[in-house]
Structure 1
Amino acid sequence: MSYLELKNVDKYYGDVHAIKGVNLTINKGEFIVFVGPSGCGKSTLLRMIAGLEEINDGDLVLDGNEITHQAPSKRDLAMVFQSYALYPHMTVEENMSFALRIKGEEQSIIDQKVAKAADTLNLTPYLKRTPKELSGGQRQRVAIGRAIVRSPKVFLFDEPLSNLDAALRGQTRVEIAELHRDLNATSIYVTHDQVEAMTLADRVVVLQGGVIEQVGTPMELYEAPANKFVAQFIGQPQMNLLSASYFSGISADAVDVGVRPEHFSIVDAGQGAISGQVELIEALGNETLIHVCLEGSGEKLIVRQYEQPSIKVRDSVSINYDASHLHQFDAKGEAIR
Structure 2
Amino acid sequence: MNSKIEFCKIDYIKEKIRSINSDLILIIADLNVWSLYSKVLPLMNIEGKKIIFWKAPDGEKVKDFENLSSAIEFFLSKNVHRKAHLISLGGGATSDFSGMVAALLLRGIEWSTIPTTLLSMVDAGIGGKVAINSPQGKNLIGAFYHPTNIWICDAFLETLDKREWSSGAGEIVKYAFLSKEIGEKITPEVDIKTLIKDCVLYKEQVVAVDFKESGERKKLNFGHTFGHAIEVEYQIPHGLSVIWGILLVDIIFNEGKLIPKVKELVDNLKIDLGDSPWLNKEFPVDRIMNYLRKDKKTTSTDLIEFVVIKEVGKTEFTSISFSEIESKLAENKDVIKKLTI
Normalised by the length of structure 1, the TM-score is 0.32
Specify which structure has the higher proportion of helix: 2
Specify which structure has the higher proportion of strand: 1
> Which protein has the larger Cα radius of gyration, Structure 1 or Structure 2?
1
